[in-house]
Structure 1
Amino acid sequence: MAVLVALGAFLMTLAGGWTAQRVTDRRHLVLGLAGGLMLGVVGLDLLPEAVEAASTEVFGVPAALLLFVAGFLLAHLVERLLAVRQASHGGEETNGGRAPEVGLTAAAAMVGHSAMDGVAIGAAFQVGGGMGTAVALAVVAHDFADGFNTYTITSLYGNARRKAQLMLFADAVAPIVGAASTAFVTIPEGVLGGYLGLFGGVLLYLAAAEILPEAHHEHPAHSTLLCTVAGAAFIWLVVGISG
């Protein structure tokens, strides 16, 4: 049953990526919306779940929040190291000097997160049908944003469209794989919470330091800002309905 439900997440992820591809002539609006979706996912979905699952304090701070900060710093460090390596090789910088590897790494993290979504579906159905249905609805609803963000992040860093589509497909398949794996593996709640915190830090860095500045760089329009607000509000709506 969990695998069948995960097929809905598969379709919604592809729909999100397809939408991101079709509106390339309004790139600033796409990036503004993606930034808002990522901000909403981090602040309203990932962090609350992470803190609840990994609430053990380390020197007065919940472990999930420490990993959240570590994820933010890790994303910044990886981007800077790759940019320095690219410059030291004397290669021609493209796409504003961004390293394509950063986009692929971030997209791979999105794939990992989607796999955890599938695990959450499978685990919830092990608890009971009602719990499984509630979790499945939440996952399917926000996987549209996951597909949208996966394609946008990959292509923003200068990767070819084919690579962006490949990462989108991997992100779509990941919930199915995750749901199927629950028949064999159980992930401790604390480990899952720590992962969500780390991933949230990475996403926040990409949204705040890369995607939103790029959205307003060439088109500092009110419509771009409205798209960002709409993206965050959409995730709030999804969290409220699924809660």
Structure 2
Amino acid sequence: MAVIVALGAFLMTLAGGWAAQRVTDRRHLVLGLAGGLMLGVVGLDLLPEALHAAGDEFLGVPLALLLFVAGFLVAHVAERLLAVRQAAHGAENGQGHRVPQVGLTAAAAMVGHSLADGIALGAAFQVGGGMGVAVALAVITHDFADGFNTYTLTSLYGNDRRKAQLMLFADAAAPVVGAASTLLFTLPEEPLGAYLGFFGGVLLYLAAAEILPEAHHKHPALSTLLCTVGGVAGIWLVVGLAD
């Protein structure tokens, strides 16, 4: 049953990526919405789930929060190092560009998140039908945002359309692979919570330091801000319905 539901997530992810491709003439609105969706996913979905699953504290601070901060810092350091390296090459060539590897790395993190979604889906159906339905609703509905963000992140950093579509397909297939894996084994809750905390920090950095500033750079319009707020509100609605 979990694998069948994951196929729905597969289609929803592709639909999100397709939507991101079709609105290229309103790029600032796309980025504003993507930033809002990512902020909502991190603050209202990933972080609460990580805090619940990871549980343990280290020196008085929940492990999930420590890894959340670590993920933010790792993303910042990695982006700065890649930017410095690219700037050096740009100086040699007389030009500067965004770093495509950052987009691919961010999209790969989205694939990892979707894989964790599939594993959580399979584990929920192992617990019971009611739990499986609740998790299925959450996974399927927010996978539209995952597909939207995966395509946007990949293309934002200068990767071509083929690479963006390849990462989108990998993100769409990940929940199916994750759900199928639970037929063979069950992932302990604590490592999954730790991963979600770290991944949440990475996503928050990308949303706050890259996507939202880019959205408002050339189009500081009210419509862009409303798209961001709407993205957060949409994830809040999804989380509320899933609960």
Q: C-alpha displacement at 1:128, in angstroms? A: 1.1
CA positional deviation for 1:185: 2.2
Q: Which residue of 1 aligns with 2:57?
A: 57
AA paired with 1:227?
A: C
Cα offset, 1:98, TM superposition: 2.1
Counterpart Cα distance in 1 of 2:184 and 2:81: 38
After superposition, where does 1:1-243 map in structure 2 within 5 Å? 1-89=1-89, 90-91=92-93, 93-94=95-96, 97-243=97-243
C-alpha displacement at 1:241, in angstroms? Answer: 0.3
CA deviation map 1:155-183 (0-9, x unaligned): 00000011000000000000000000001
Structure 1, unmatched stretches of 5+, are none
Q: Distance in 1 between matches of 2:95 and 2:150?
A: 23
Distance 1:137 1:162, change over 3 A: same
Moved over 2 A (4+): 87-94
The verdict on how the C-alpha distance between 1:58 and 1:166 changes in structure 2, with shifts beyond 3 A counting, is same
Q: 1:134 deviation in Å?
A: 1.1
Alpha-carbon distance change, 192 to 39 in structure 1, aligned in 2, over 3 angstroms: same
Name the SS for the 1:3 alignment partner: helix
Q: Residue deviations 1:99-121, cap 9 Å, x none? A: 10000000000001001100011
Question: Whole-Å Cα distance in 2 between the matches of residues 121 and 217 of structure 1?
Answer: 38
In the TM superposition, residue 141 of structure 1 has moved relative to its aligned partner by: 0.4
Give the SS at the match of 1:220.
coil
Amino acid at match of 2:99: A
Given the two structures, how large is their TM-score scaled by the length of structure 2?
Answer: 0.97
**3-state SS of 2:233 partner:** helix
- Residue 146 of structure 1, CA deviation: 0.2
Do the aligned residues in 2 keep the contact of 1:155 with 1:161 (CA within 8 Å)?
yes
AA matched with 1:18: W
Q: 2:179 and 2:167 mapped to 1: Cα distance?
A: 19
Aligned residues: 241
Listed one character per residue, the Cα deviations across residues 211-232 of structure 1 (whole Å, up to 9, x for unaligned) are 0000000000000000000000
Alpha-carbon distance between aligned partners in 1 of 2:94 and 2:136, rounded to the nearest angstrom: 45
Shift of 1:34: 0.3
Which deviates further from its counterpart, 146-155 or 123-132?
123-132
In structure 2, how many angstroms separate the alpha carbons of the residues matched to 1:80 and 1:91? 20
Query: What is the CA-CA distance between 1:87 and the residue it aligns to?
Result: 2.4
Question: How many angstroms apart in 1 are the aligned matches of 2:180 and 2:155?
Answer: 30
Kindly, what percent of the aligned residue pairs are identical? 80
Write the letter of the residue equivalent to 1:105.
Answer: T
CA contact (8 A) 1:86 1:93 kept: no
> What is the TM-score when the length of structure 1 is the normalising length?
0.97
RMSD of aligned alpha carbons:
0.9
Shift of 1:129: 1.4
d(CA) in 1 for partners of 2:16, 2:146 = 7
Matched to 1:146, the amino acid is D
Q: 2-side partners of 1:21 and 1:5: how far apart?
A: 25
SS of 2:78's equivalent? helix
Counterpart residue identity of residue 126, structure 1: Q
- Tell me if structure 2 keeps the 8 A contact 1:34–1:211: yes
- Rate the CA distance shift 1:165–1:92 in 2: closer, same or farther, 3 A: farther
In the TM superposition, residue 88 of structure 1 has moved relative to its aligned partner by 2.6
